Amino acid sequence: MRRMMILAMVGSGLWNGLWPGGAWAQQVDSGTVRSCFAQTPTGEMSPDCLGAASNTCQDQGFDTTLGITQCIQAETEVWDTLLNEQYKSTRAVLGAQNPALQNYLLAAQRAWIAFRDAECALGYARWQDGSMRNIVHANCMMVMTARRTLELRDMKGN
């Protein structure tokens, strides 16, 4: 019976709304996140504004476990866009200094991605029996992505 319900949800398109990008996925103000990034001083890795866009989203009535998770994921998507922008510009700056540095940055970024994924999976596993696990995982991904974005930005100054 459970399998039939899932198949019916997938077939009707209802399932798509439960995931980021789906019809029910929450949105955040990307300007809030970009402003947070721009106003964070060099060397600061945990700005007070981190999570502000997600909190605003949650204040709009998305205060269920699913809603909170989706709001956090929506903010993470903006941080991820910023991360990719910072990676590309940092790669260019380092490449101008010494082309070999680009390979070191690539290796470091790949290792960071593996670490982030493992670290956030650990948080999820620690809460495996509770609904909080989704929020813990999503928040971990947001915080770590934001911090790495700021690290990449700051690398260009040295």
Measured CA to CA, the distance from residue 112 to residue 154 in angstroms comes to: 16
Q: What is the per-residue pLDDT for 61?
A: 86
Q: 122 lies in a domain?
A: yes
Quick one: pLDDT at residue 23? 39
Classify residue 12: in a domain, yes or no.
Answer: no
Higher pLDDT, 141 or 26: 141
38 domain residue, yes or no: yes
Give the tokens for residue 128: 């495996």
Structural domain includes residue 2? no
Q: What is the pLDDT of residue 17?
A: 42
Does residue 24 surpass a pLDDT of 80? no
Q: Check whether 100 has a pLDDT greater than 50.
A: yes
User: How many structural domains comprise the chain?
Assistant: 1
User: What is the reported pLDDT for 26?
Assistant: 66
Whether residue 119 has pLDDT greater than 70: yes
Q: Identity (one letter) of the amino acid at 57? A: C
- Greater confidence, 5 or 91? 91
Domain assignment present for 39? yes
Spatial CA neighbour of 15 closest among 25, 6, 27 = 6
Is there a domain that residue 46 lies in?
yes
CB atoms within 10 A of CB 85: 14
Whole-number pLDDT of residue 158: 64
- Please check whether residue 9 lies inside any domain of the structure: no
Question: Residue 50, exposed/middle/buried by CB under 10 A (0-12, 13-18, 19+)?
Answer: buried
CB crowding 27-37: b at 16 or more within 10 Å, else e: ebebebbeebb
Q: What's the mean pLDDT in 131-140?
A: 95
Q: Which residue has the higher pLDDT, 10 or 126?
A: 126
Mean pLDDT of all residues belonging to the chain: 87
The pLDDT tens digits for 57-78 are 999 888 899 999 999 999 999 9
What is the per-residue pLDDT for 25? 53
In this structure, is residue 113 part of a structural domain? yes
Q: Which domain holds residue 122?
A: 20-155
Give 30-90 as a 3 state SS string: HHHHHHHHHHCCCCCCCCCCCCHHHHHHHHCCCCCHHHHHHHHHHHHHHHHHHHHHHHHHH
User: In the prediction, which pLDDT does 18 show?
Assistant: 44
